[in-house]
Amino acid sequence: MENYSIKKISSYGFFILMTGLIISASILIFLLFKLEDIREKLTLIQNTHKSFLQLKNDTERLLTTGELEESIISLIKSSKKFNNTLKMSDEYNLKEIDELWYVCQKEISAIVENLQKPIFNPKNIKHKPLLHRRGELFLQNDSNEFYILLTEVTDSIEFLLQNEIFILDIFEKIDNNQKIYEKIELKKTKKYAVFFPLTVLIITTILAVFISKIATKTEKNLAQNEAFLDSVIENIPNMIFVKDAEELKFVRFNKAGENLLGYTRNELLGKNDYDFFPKQEADFFTQKDREVLDLKALVDISEEQIETKYKGKRILHTKKITLFDEKGKPEYLLGISEDITEQKRLEDQLRQTQKMEAIGILAGGIAHNFNNNLAIILGNLEMGQRKFSEPEKVKNFIEVAKTAALRSRDLVNQILTYSRQGSSTKEPIYLKLVIDETRKMLQSTLPTTVKLHYQAMLGASEIIINADPNRIQEALLNLCNNAVQAMDEKGDLNIYLDKVDLSKHDIPAQYDCLPGLYVVLSVEDNGGGMDQATLDKIFDPFFTTKKVGKGTGMGLATVQGIVDQHGGLIKVHSTTSEGSRFELYFPMTEEVQLTSQKQEKIVPQQGTEAILLVDDDELLVDLGKQILTDLGYIVTTAINGHDALMIIEKNPQQFDLIITDQSMPKMTGLELAQKIKKLNSQSLVILMTGYSSKILEGDIGKHGISAYCRKPLRLVELSQVVRRVLDGAC
């Protein structure tokens, strides 16, 4: 900008110089012309003046000459001549002279007319001057008439002369004025001839000084700016480097760069990455450089490793951008690198600490829970032993101990889920179906004081995710459970199903998710909400704010585990005393390849066949019976293998299918299955187990098992397995 102003001032300067010269020249020329004009005017007026002098002489001669006729003629002649010259100088506005001349002309013609009267004949005049003749006549008493006339004429001539003298005076004045005027003009011209060029010279000189001052100042400023920028770059605590776009050789380096790499500027400049770093690293850098230059955009490399001279391997966060020349072609590559090695190390340390802490809590939690349960179990068993004689009471003690044991089993399941050790099979599913099923379940278990609302986006039934439907259901149930508890069993429970496009920013740092389309499953309550301190810990295993027996602190931990398994994420919004909303995000499956058959799979499959359900857990038996009955089956139950065999033995063909738990006291599921096969080799058996085992699955068919079913029982899964087995798909 300052350069520009110098340019501008210079051109202005030139312009002023030129205009000044032109003005000076024109003024001088104008003055010279004016001078010439004055000269001309002066000559013309002088000529007119001269011709008037002639006229005046002729007028005087009238009085003094004896040759009257001759002088009359010359008077007429000079009068005409003057009249002509006066007309020529008309443009000079000699109005005063004009008026006087008008009077003179009148008088001249009157005089001439009088003198041409016969009485003025030579005989009367006697060739004597008129004045002389008048004097003579005065003394004669007989020539009174002629005397009177002559007096009139001489008076008239005198009058004419008076007027002529006025004209002469004016001429003289004009002459003088004109001469003075000419003198003044000449002086002016001389003065201007010096003054104007001088002024132009001065202005130009001043301008030159001015420009040179500005130039000096500008240069100083530029140098200062440059130095300032230099020092800024030099002192930025991050490594800054510039490479040329052609060969990617270093052209600039700052102090931080020198310190980091352990090389001096002189060593670095003019060389490229391969001269200093291992090939692998150099390849990476070069590849990124090319990427930057090709993209012509900023490239952010969040982590890259570099081998330094003295500090070993360092981790850098580098940003690279292209610098363009005036034509828009990439000229340089600018890089700025932050050494995040230390930061990384601290983070890892922190993570480790957190892990240890979490494990501590986890172990504590497990120990605490199991201790509780064990205490209950042991206490009850002991009481049972003591009250052996009272079978009713014993039964009760055992019942309580069993419940505690079952609770421990659930706990184990949850821990397994959290640690991702529980088996899960993901497949494309219609999410809406899972939600619908869960809702149905909730509807029958929720207290009437809680209102369940469900709101799904348009086309929600088309949404497909790759998931394990049982897990999803489990997560949803957990969230709802929490919500109901938070609302103290009365309020509005909302479930939303939605779809969002998550950008990079929407994904919290701890998740390794990719941006894209996600399904959001939200559970919202208007309960007590949480403060920040609570929020920070809710996902920790065994973290709970609830009383013993009300919560284990494993609910949200499990949810977290489930979401992680599905490559999704969780967001929580909560305000104390207003409510909370938990949002579960699952990546959407793009390709919709679900066949109608597959869809059927997800829908609970119904049937009318007779089924024998065997499980030592009475709760489970009841649940299973209810589910299967709902599906249309005729269900018979047994609580151990022995009972089951007894029922089958009565009529080995009466059951189309036997579903048995694997882990049962006295007789396992497998043992039972083998025995049933002996009774009826056609029997179809589904084995239920608490945890997934590849080995077990591999045993399908070997021990007469038609299918395997994971516990706890899930409606959809169960219905599908049952249908599949019954339909002879296996």
Partner 1 sequence: MKLSISKKQKTDADMRYLNKFIKPLASLILLLSIVGCSDKEKENETESASLNLFEYRAITVIVPNVGGRTIRGPVLDEAKLFSEKTGASVRVVTPGWKSTIGKIKESLTDPKINFDIFVIITSWGGSLLGENHIEPIPEWVKEKIEWKDVLPVYKNSILSWGNKPYGLPYDGDCVNLYYRKDIFANNTNQEKFFKKFGYKLTPPTTWDMYEDIAKFFDGWDWDDDGKIEHGIAENRLRGYGSVLQFFTRAAAYAKHPDDKAYYFDIATMKPRINNPGFVEAFEDYINIMKYGPKEMLNLQTDDIRKSFISGDVAMAIDWADMGPMAVNSDISVVKDRVGYAALPGYDRVYNNKTKKWDSQYNNPSSIAGNWTILVNKDSKDKKLAFEFAAHMTSPILTKKLITIGWTGINPSRYSHFEDMSDWDGSGFSPSDTREYLNTISKSLDNENVMVDIRIPGASKYYDVAGEYIDLALKGKMEPKEALDKISLKWDEITDSLGRKSQIQLYKKSVNY
Ligand X SMILES: Nc1ncnc2c1ncn2[C@@H]1O[C@H](COP(=O)(O)OP(=O)(O)O)[C@@H](O)[C@H]1O
Site residues (vs ligand X, CB under 6 A): 482-483, 486, 525, 527-528, 530, 534, 538, 543-546, 551-557, 580
Nearer to Mg ion, 482 or 494 (CB): 482
Binding at 528: pick from ligand X, partner 1, Mg ion, none (beta carbon under 5-8 Å per type): ligand X
* C-alpha to C-alpha distance for 724 and 29, rounded to whole angstroms: 119
Cβ-proximal residue to Mg ion, closest one: 555
Residue of 628, 634, 683 whose CA lies nearest to 657: 683
Would the CA dihedral through 234, 239, 240, 244 be positive or negative?
positive
Nearer to ligand X, 529 or 624 (CB): 529
Strands 569-575 and 579-587: antiparallel
Nearer to partner 1, 47 or 109 (CB): 109
In whole angstroms, the minimum distance from the beta carbon of 221 to partner 1 comes to 11
**Cβ pair 677, 648 in contact under 8 A:** no
Nearer to ligand X, 71 or 574 (CB): 574
**Site for partner 1 (CB under 8 A): which residue of 96, 331, 492, 671?**
96
Binding at 349: pick from partner 1, Mg ion, ligand X, none (beta carbon under 5-8 Å per type): none
* C-alpha to C-alpha distance for 2 and 395, rounded to whole angstroms: 101
* C-alpha to C-alpha distance for 695 and 159, rounded to whole angstroms: 161
Q: What is the DSSP letter of 588?
A: B
Binding at 538: pick from Mg ion, partner 1, ligand X, none (beta carbon under 5-8 Å per type): ligand X
**Cβ pair 520, 496 in contact under 8 A:** yes
Beta-carbon count within 10 A of 366 CB: 17
Would the CA dihedral through 370, 371, 374, 376 be positive or negative?
negative
**Cβ pair 714, 473 in contact under 8 A:** yes
Candidate segments 8-16, 145-153, 705-713, 717-725, binder of partner 1 by CB under 8 A: 145-153
Beta-carbon count within 10 A of 66 CB: 15
Place of tokens 């219609």: 430
Would the CA dihedral through 703, 706, 707, 713 be positive or negative?
negative
Binding at 706: pick from partner 1, ligand X, Mg ion, none (beta carbon under 5-8 Å per type): none
**Cβ pair 709, 721 in contact under 8 A:** yes
Site string for partner 1, 177-216 (x = CB under 8 A): -------x--x---x--xx--x--xx--x--xx--xx-xx
The verdict on 147 binding partner 1 (CB under 8 A) reads yes
Q: What is the DSSP letter of 694?
A: H
* C-alpha to C-alpha distance for 646 and 456, rounded to whole angstroms: 50
Nearer to Mg ion, 409 or 677 (CB): 409
In the range 537-576, which residues lie near Mg ion by CB under 5 A? 551, 555
Candidate segments 142-150, 311-319, 447-455, 655-663, binder of partner 1 by CB under 8 A: 142-150
Candidate segments 4-12, 149-157, 434-442, 532-540, binder of partner 1 by CB under 8 A: 149-157
Nearer to partner 1, 136 or 304 (CB): 136
In whole angstroms, the minimum distance from the beta carbon of 555 to Mg ion comes to 3
Binding at 156: pick from ligand X, partner 1, Mg ion, none (beta carbon under 5-8 Å per type): partner 1
Nearer to Mg ion, 318 or 482 (CB): 482
* C-alpha to C-alpha distance for 633 and 656, rounded to whole angstroms: 10
Alpha helices in 387-503 (DSSP H): 391-418, 431-445, 469-486
In the range 354-393, which residues lie near Mg ion by CB under 5 A? none
The verdict on 152 binding partner 1 (CB under 8 A) reads yes
Buried b (16+ CB within 10 A) or exposed e, 556-583: bbbbbbbbebbbbbbeeebeeeebbbbb
Nearer to ligand X, 299 or 480 (CB): 480
Candidate segments 222-230, 394-402, 659-667, 708-716, binder of partner 1 by CB under 8 A: 222-230
Nearer to partner 1, 206 or 646 (CB): 206
Candidate segments 78-86, 220-228, 265-273, 677-685, binder of partner 1 by CB under 8 A: 220-228
* C-alpha to C-alpha distance for 122 and 34, rounded to whole angstroms: 54
Number of H helices, E strands in the chain: 21, 17
Nearer to partner 1, 73 or 184 (CB): 184
Nearer to partner 1, 144 or 606 (CB): 144
What's the CA dihedral at 193, 195, 199, 205 to 10 degrees? Answer: 80
The verdict on 226 binding partner 1 (CB under 8 A) reads yes
Q: What is the three-class DSSP state of 300?
A: strand
- Footprint on this chain of partner 1 (rule: CB under 8 A): 96, 98-99, 102-103, 137-141, 144, 147-148, 151-152, 155-156, 158-159, 162-163, 166, 169, 184, 187, 191, 194-195, 198, 201-202, 205, 208-209, 212-213, 215-216, 219-220, 222-223, 226
- Footprint on this chain of Mg ion (rule: CB under 5 A): 482, 551, 555
